[in-house]
């Protein structure tokens, strides 16, 4: 059996200009990055602005497990299936981060015969967007520390700097550091911190900005620190916005690549849904909607994270209305939630599956609260038995949802035709009544508690003293009427990754709260989740190398 990277390396890719023609873009509508990658030009985006919007389909999943759910695989396979059925469709997905590639999760280009290619370039440096975001963020940090050294005219309190430096890599040793050591001209000594690039506010801003002007305005609002008078100091106060925008002027343009079946795939932006809002860029999604009848997009991790933030943050801010949601699950993951060890997941165990299926049930109930029609699909593995599939089918149909089986990993678009037909039928016959879960007029605590109780199933919320003070300060300076972006473990509906299935009778613990003023939301960090991940004991990087023929081995 071929690995994902072997399948990708054997792909017969088309010239990106031929792929671009499928969205109506000629050679002047793209800027090529080699033969198989391109950025969409501002001129093309402007030229299609009056086109009618297509239908928007969100792909999400149950909580991830070590067994893997295949959300991105289904996203790409569904789009290829829609194309096979003669529909004009486009994928809009996120860019992968180097952290998971060299850590534990692997790449984010799909799998099997439902992948985006060129897979190696996509998973590594791609078009340099993440490097640009890293540079812009760290330029702002450098300008802040320089300001402290050069007289501190803004009266910044060095102990109340809130902006963090970043790196697109898992490096736990950088979570808490001291900078400015050495001689006087080496800087002001203070405690500093790093987060991973995808967790930065600059990443969130790039993904939520409508255009370059909006990007500049949002960058200017970034709160970098507080002064001795307890007032926020912004990137605009540091006069950093112009230089940051210059670094990001290419990164804000969506990227275009292709699927294994040579269909157009927009890939742009990449925040993690466990520590950020987890959606691809508004600009990519809106551009896709103008040049296709159907747009298939995804949101990171489980529906309790990515889908909640897609529906409560991205759609609200961008004025988007989703027409259908595809909820992905696997028999293996449901058995894992039912207590089966990873090594035994290939064995039939309907009893354990029925015990763990409560996780799927909670996600269905959550999505139904938003008024968007749902199609549940099982990403089928070879070892899945008819008895297991039938048990899932009966459960899903009892919840009032359509059920399909996807075999896109093994069959590509052909294996997704059943799902594609179900999605089309749903869109044509069931109207969407999308509405966010909560009003932004609620207090920060009320919004946190609404998400925690309604989506996670918690009975209450416990705040650390630091979080309590931060909420009061954020509301006092006028940022209380924004959406809330929750950061928590992806492995459980709760903030404790060991609580599988459908946890009940527990409290969510919020330990930290801060405002991302430029992004336009408040971040609440729950449990032990870190914004700078660490590498596992045996990271994937140990098994990645270049062979004698120059091929990358072990990437995914």
Report the catalytic residues.
Answer: 71, 73, 94, 105, 273, 301, 381, 409
Which among 225, 150, 153 has a CA at the least distance from the CA of 193? 225
Q: How deeply is 303 buried, as exposed, middle or buried, from its count of CB atoms within 10 A (0-12, 13-18, 19+)?
A: buried
Non-local CB neighbours of 343 within 8 Å, separated by 6+ positions: none
H/E run at residue 44: helix 42-47
For 279, the token pair is 């959606």
Q: In 3-state terms, the chain is what percent helix, strand and coil (to 5)?
A: 40, 20, 40
The DSSP letter of residue 415 is: G
Q: Decide if 13 contacts 114 (C-beta within 8 A).
A: no
Which among 235, 234, 264 has a CA at the least distance from the CA of 17? 264
- Torsion over CA: 489, 491, 493, 494 (sign): negative
Question: What does the alpha-carbon distance between residue 370 and residue 377 come to, in Å, rounded to a whole number?
Answer: 19
E strands, 421-503, are 460-463, 484-487
Q: Decide if 89 contacts 295 (C-beta within 8 A).
A: yes
Count Cβ atoms below 10 Å from residue 501 Cβ, excluding itself.
20
Question: What does the alpha-carbon distance between residue 508 and residue 253 come to, in Å, rounded to a whole number?
Answer: 38
Count Cβ atoms below 10 Å from residue 112 Cβ, excluding itself.
23
Q: Decide if 69 contacts 378 (C-beta within 8 A).
A: no
Question: What does the alpha-carbon distance between residue 305 and residue 61 come to, in Å, rounded to a whole number?
Answer: 10
Question: What does the alpha-carbon distance between residue 533 and residue 175 come to, in Å, rounded to a whole number?
Answer: 9
Question: What does the alpha-carbon distance between residue 533 and residue 307 come to, in Å, rounded to a whole number?
Answer: 22
By residue count, the chain amounts to 556
Which among 91, 524, 133, 482 has a CA at the least distance from the CA of 317? 482
Q: What are phi and psi of 194, to 5 degrees?
A: -120, 145
Cis peptide before 424 (omega within 30 of 0): no
Question: What does the alpha-carbon distance between residue 132 and residue 144 come to, in Å, rounded to a whole number?
Answer: 18
Strand, helix or coil at 493?
coil
Strand, helix or coil at 205?
helix
| Apex 276 CA angle, 124 and 291, nearest 5 | 65
Which among 489, 485, 493 has a CA at the least distance from the CA of 361? 493
H/E run at residue 447: helix 444-454
């Amino acid at each position: 059996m071929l690995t994902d990277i072997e399948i990708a390396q054997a792909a017969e890719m088309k010239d990106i200009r031929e792929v671009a023609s499928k969205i109506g873009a000629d050679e002047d509508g793209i800027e090529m990055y080699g033969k198989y990658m391109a950025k969409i030009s501002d001129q093309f985006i402007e030229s299609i602005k009056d086109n009618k919007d297509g239908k928007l389909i969100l792909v999400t999943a149950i909580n991830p497990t070590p067994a893997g759910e295949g959300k991105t695989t289904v996203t790409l396979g569904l789009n290829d299936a829609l194309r096979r059925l003669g529909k004009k469709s486009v994928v809009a997905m996120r860019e992968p981060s180097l952290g998971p590639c060299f850590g534990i999760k692997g790449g984010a280009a799909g799998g099997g015969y439902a992948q985006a290619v060129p897979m190696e370039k996509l998973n590594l440096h791609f078009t340099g967007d993440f490097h640009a975001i890293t540079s812009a963020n760290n330029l702002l940090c450098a300008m802040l520390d320089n300001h402290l050294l050069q007289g501190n005219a803004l009266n910044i309190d060095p102990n109340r700097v809130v902006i963090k430096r970043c790196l697109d890599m898992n490096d736990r040793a950088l979570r808490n550091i001291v900078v400015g050591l050495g001689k006087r001209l080496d800087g002001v000594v203070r405690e500093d911190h790093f987060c991973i690039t995808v967790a930065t506010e600059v990443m969130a801003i790039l993904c939520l900005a409508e255009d370059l002007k909006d990007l500049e305005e949002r960058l200017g609002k970034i709160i970098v620190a507080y002064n001795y008078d307890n007032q926020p100091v912004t990137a605009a106060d540091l006069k950093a916005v112009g230089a940051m925008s210059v670094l990001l002027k290419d990164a804000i343009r969506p990227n275009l690549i292709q699927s294994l079946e040579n269909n157009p795939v927009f890939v742009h932006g990449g925040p993690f849904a466990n520590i950020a809002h987890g959606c691809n860029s508004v600009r990519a999604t809106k551009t896709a909607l103008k040049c296709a009848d159907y747009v298939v997009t995804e949101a990171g991790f489980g529906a309790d994270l990515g889908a909640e933030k897609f529906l409560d943050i991205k759609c609200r801010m961008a004025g988007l209305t989703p027409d259908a949601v595809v909820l992905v699950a696997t028999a293996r993951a449901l058995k894992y939630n039912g207590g089966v060890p990873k090594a035994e997941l290939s064995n039939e165990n309907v009893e354990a599956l029925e015990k763990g299926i409560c996780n799927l049930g909670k996600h269905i109930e959550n999505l139904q609260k938003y008024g968007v029609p749902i199609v549940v699909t099982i990403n089928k593995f070879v070892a899945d038995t008819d008895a297991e599939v039938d048990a899932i089918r009966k459960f899903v149909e009892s919840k009032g949802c359509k059920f399909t089986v996807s075999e896109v990993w093994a069959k590509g678009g052909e294996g997704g035709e059943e799902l594609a037909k179900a999605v089309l039928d749903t869109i044509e016959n069931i109207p969407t009544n999308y509405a966010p879960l909560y009003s932004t007029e609620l207090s920060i605590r009320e919004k946190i508690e609404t998400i925690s109780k309604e989506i996670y199933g918690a009975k209450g919320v416990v705040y650390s003293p630091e979080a309590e003070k931060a909420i009061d300060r954020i509301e006092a300076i006028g940022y209380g009427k924004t959406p809330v972006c929750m950061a928590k473990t992806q492995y459980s509906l709760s903030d404790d990754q060991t609580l599988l299935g459908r946890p009940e009778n527990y409290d969510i613990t919020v330990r930290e709260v801060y405002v991302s003023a430029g992004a336009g939301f408040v971040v609440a960090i729950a449990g032990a989740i870190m914004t700078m991940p660490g590498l596992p004991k045996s990271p994937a990087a140990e098994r990645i190398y270049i062979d004698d023929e120059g091929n990358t081995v072990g990437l995914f």
